[in-house]
Amino acid sequence: MPTDAPAIAQGRILIVDHDGLSRESLAAKLESEGYAIEFEEDGFKALDRLGGGNFDLVLWEVQLPGLNGLDMLKRLRKDALLQHIPVLLISEGRDMDIVIRCIEAGADDYLSKPCNPALLKARIRASMERKSLHDHEQQLLSRFRSQQQRISTELADAKTYLMSLLPPPLHEPFVADWRFIPSSELGGDCFGYHWIDEDHFALYLLDVCGHGVGSALLSVTVLNVLRSNALNGVDFRQPSEVLSAANQAFPMERQNNRYFTLWYGVYQRSTRKLTYSSGGHPPALLFEPGVTEAKKLSTHGMMVGGLSISRYTAQSCEVPVGSRLFLFCDGAYEITLPEGRTYTLDELAGQLAKLPADAPVDLDAILAQIRQLCGSSELEDDFSLITIQF
């Protein structure tokens, strides 16, 4: 028995027997042990009393007129509120066939008339202990479910907060939109875009390793730093400076061994030049008009926070009018297909290349195709996808 289980208290017992002498004899034996005893001689009334009272055990005569032990058990064990009340049958020696059927129907034990006082007390005590343990388990289960509900509510609130940090779609001077589908757990994806000044537009996506509250907290912290340009002395128009400073600001040994991948780019409107730097993150895909093969934009830097000596470089490219840029996390393509293999980055690029060039990017259609590949509406990992249509 668990050491923190409640002590077994003397309880309330309902004796259901049409024989008055038998009832009095049982009551005398049990009241001396401190049990509170109540009587009933009608089976249907006894069921009503069980439903309305807090009884710990019932002694029921097997061959009770009107509602015998077997019929009573069938009703009692179907009642969610009463099915765990211990039932001890009182039987004559000739009733063994029905006693056996009652035991099979859920009776806890039986006693033959006249009841041996020591055996009566021992079986009642054993039944009471089992019920007490069951009640204690139910209390623990109820507490656990309450905690689970509280955690679920807090996680839902956290996801709502995370969603509130993500940027609204843009419609000018170019179109920017996104889709973000968190996995069943609170994950580590975050992204955003904003104007640094009138000429420079920053866009970024990060993915903290692992799942859960710790990953989400680090992800939101880094996102807020990027949104507010809050790395001292850093020119946020220079992507390599941003990654280098983030690598120094968030070493994994100070983040409970968590690191993150990051793609950070800056588009200069006056020159149509995109400068970018990445650390451990999938490349962004740039589709120029009239070209079906994507440019993979990556600088192959190490994940951020892994090593203080990591160095990050930047590259630039021109962005012709009509180009499309896709920025995403690995959850957009590291998908286990029904045949067992993993969907690849090249296959995702091929999927995006098939999008109609003369129509806006349909992000919902892309997401629907990803879900179809998964074979389920539930995704294995966070799904993050940003598109910029220049």
Lowest mean pLDDT among 156-165, 205-214, 267-276: 156-165
- Per-residue confidence (pLDDT) for residue 1, from 0 to 100: 45
Q: Confidence class of residue 185 from pLDDT cuts 50, 70 and 90? A: low
Average pLDDT estimate for 262-289: 97
- Per-residue confidence (pLDDT) for residue 134, from 0 to 100: 82
Q: Confidence class of residue 139 from pLDDT cuts 50, 70 and 90? A: confident
Burial letters 231-254, b for 16+ CB under 10 A, else e: beebebbbbbbbbbbbbebbebee
Helices (H), ranges, the chain: 20-31, 43-52, 69-76, 96-105, 117-165, 213-227, 239-249, 345-353, 363-374
- Per-residue confidence (pLDDT) for residue 184, from 0 to 100: 63
Superfamily of segment(s) 166-389: PPM-type phosphatase domain (3.60.40.10)
Task: State pTM to two decimals.
Answer: 0.69
- Per-residue confidence (pLDDT) for residue 22, from 0 to 100: 82
- CATH 3.40.50.2300 location in the chain: 12-139
- CATH 3.60.40.10 location in the chain: 166-389
CATH entry 3.40.50.2300 includes domain 12-139: yes
- Encode pLDDT of 233-245 as tens digits: 899 999 999 999 9
Is pLDDT above 90 for 174? yes
Strand partners, 263: 205, 278
Q: Which has the closest alpha carbon to 325: 189, 184, 162, 193?
A: 193
Residue bearing the bigger pLDDT, 139 or 197: 197
Residue bearing the bigger pLDDT, 158 or 352: 352
- Encode pLDDT of 306-333 as tens digits: 999 999 999 999 999 999 999 999 988 9
Distance, CA of 260 to CA of 279 (rounded, Å): 8
One-letter amino acid for residue 228 of the chain = S
Is pLDDT above 90 for 171? yes
Q: Which has the closest alpha carbon to 68: 105, 13, 115, 119?
A: 105
Maximum separation of any 2 CA atoms in the chain, in Å:
105
- Per-residue confidence (pLDDT) for residue 336, from 0 to 100: 86
Name the token pair of 210. Answer: 């692992």
Sheet of 295-297: strand order equals: 175-181, 383-389, 324-328, 284-287, 295-297
**Mean pLDDT (the chain, rounded):** 87
